[in-house]
């Protein structure tokens, strides 16, 4: 008797197709084109949207003259959506990313499109309303033979600063985040920085020279050219992570700063695993002048996440009520004034437990006192306890 086993990844693939094609069909009218720059051409079929070029795989269009043809076709058609990034690594064939394999096309896309959102690990980029492409010859000048340092062998990893900002606050405060980043290696280090703040999505690519240090005071405003509060992602090659530090402070009053290191996959909690919980320890008791505690979770996985926050005694007993929320991919769930949300006054005898119900995330707390001084406390992965 013939037995057919279902692929264990089939469910994840089905949801990826459903979510990605649904968003494409919502944004792109039938008959209008999209462009796949991720080596996942099946999305043309599932979304029922045409390809404006004659190429269905990026490696095919990598020769110089074919990149020129592709850019010209894209500029004529101006597809509303470009698909970038594959959660299964299809966009890094043989250790060469599509951005490196088709350098001219990648530069054109960077200039004319912006990151829209990530769905199940697939990135959708939308055309900028103010897109002003360079002359074709300028993009073709970007083509060069890759160096060994530029090749990607292994996965691409990400660091995340959950909350960075450039924004006014209460009582005349102005909160800003200063970023310092250092390359500790003897070779140049390409990195991608992405700010996600509400509907704002800004990407910047740069290369740190060997042992080079960059510093951006008020990084949201000076480097990304925007304002507000958001999440900062830093993408790097496996085994080649930069040293990065964020200082967030009230620059209007000269308040004491929180000095934060980024969180990574090592700091994660994942649902249905032995490490599905994060613990936040050491929240100070409120003094006479008071203080505010904010708690957040960043979804670092490739599916929508759900987390629950509870306050616990030393014995693990829940006090107060629980709060729970879903979190879209790459986004942050921030609970201002967690004490009010939980109905509990926190001190160092209590801990906060962040439990992954679905997906993967990292967690944190920020403590802001009456003087405007801030403290950042990262959630620590914990072995599962009885819930």
Segment 267-284 mean pLDDT: 92
Q: Quick: pLDDT tens for 186-213.
A: 988 889 999 998 788 898 988 899 999 9
Does the pLDDT value for residue 7 go beyond 70? no
- pLDDT value of residue 387: 46
The burial of 90, by beta-carbon neighbours within 10 Å (0-12 exposed, 13-18 middle, 19 or more buried), is given as: middle
Q: Show contacts of 140-146: CB within 8 Å, 24+ apart.
A: 140/64, 140/67, 140/68, 140/104, 142/103, 142/104, 142/106, 142/107, 143/64, 143/67, 143/103, 143/104, 144/103, 146/96, 146/100
Mean pLDDT rounded to a whole number for the chain: 89
State the Cα–Cα distance between residues 68 and 148, nearest whole angstrom.
Answer: 25
Q: Quick: pLDDT tens for 343-359.
A: 999 888 899 999 999 99
State the Cα–Cα distance between residues 338 and 163, nearest whole angstrom.
Answer: 16
pTM exceeding the 0.75 threshold for the entire prediction: yes
Q: Quick: pLDDT tens for 40-95.
A: 999 999 999 999 999 999 999 999 999 999 999 999 999 999 999 888 888 887 77
- pLDDT value of residue 23: 96
């Amino acid at each position: 008797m013939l037995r057919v086993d279902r692929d264990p990844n089939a469910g994840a693939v089905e949801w990826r197709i459903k979510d990605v094609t649904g968003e494409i069909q919502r944004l792109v009218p039938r008959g209008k084109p999209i462009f796949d720059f991720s080596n996942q051409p099946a999305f043309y079929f599932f979304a029922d949207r045409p390809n404006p070029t004659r190429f269905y795989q990026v490696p095919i269009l990598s020769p110089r003259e074919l990149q020129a043809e592709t850019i010209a076709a894209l500029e004529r058609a101006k597809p509303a959506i470009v698909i970038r990034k594959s959660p299964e690594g299809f966009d890094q064939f043989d250790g060469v990313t599509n951005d490196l394999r088709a350098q001219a096309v990648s530069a054109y896309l960077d200039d004319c499109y912006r990151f829209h959102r990530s769905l199940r690990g697939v990135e959708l980029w939308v055309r900028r309303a103010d897109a002003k492409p360079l002359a074709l010859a300028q993009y073709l000048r970007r083509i060069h033979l890759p160096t060994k340092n530029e090749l990607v062998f292994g996965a691409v990893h990400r660091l995340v600063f959950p909350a960075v900002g450039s924004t006014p606050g209460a009582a005349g405060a102005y909160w800003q985040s200063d970023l310092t980043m250092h390359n500790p290696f003897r070779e140049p280090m390409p990195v991608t920085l992405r700010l996600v703040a509400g509907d704002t999505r800004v990407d910047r690519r740069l290369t740190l020279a060997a042992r080079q240090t960059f510093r951006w005071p008020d990084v949201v405003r000076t480097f990304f050219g925007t304002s507000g509060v958001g999440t900062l992602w830093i993408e790097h090659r496996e085994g080649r992570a930069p040293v990065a530090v964020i200082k967030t402070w009230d620059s209007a009053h000269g308040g004491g700063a929180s000095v934060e290191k980024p969180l990574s996959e090592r700091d994660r909690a994942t649902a249905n695993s032995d490490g599905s919980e994060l613990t936040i320890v050491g929240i100070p008791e409120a003094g006479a002048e008071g203080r505010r505690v904010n708690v957040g979770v960043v979804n670092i996985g490739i599916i929508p996440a759900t987390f629950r926050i509870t306050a616990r005694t030393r014995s693990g007993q829940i006090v107060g009520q629980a709060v729970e929320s879903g979190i879209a991919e790459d986004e942050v769930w921030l609970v201002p004034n967690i004490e009010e949300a939980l109905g509990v006054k926190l001190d160092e005898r209590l801990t906060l437990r962040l439990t992954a119900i679905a997906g993967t995330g990292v967690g944190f707390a920020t403590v802001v006192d009456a003087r405007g001084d801030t403290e950042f406390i990262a959630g620590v992965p914990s072995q599962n306890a009885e819930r």
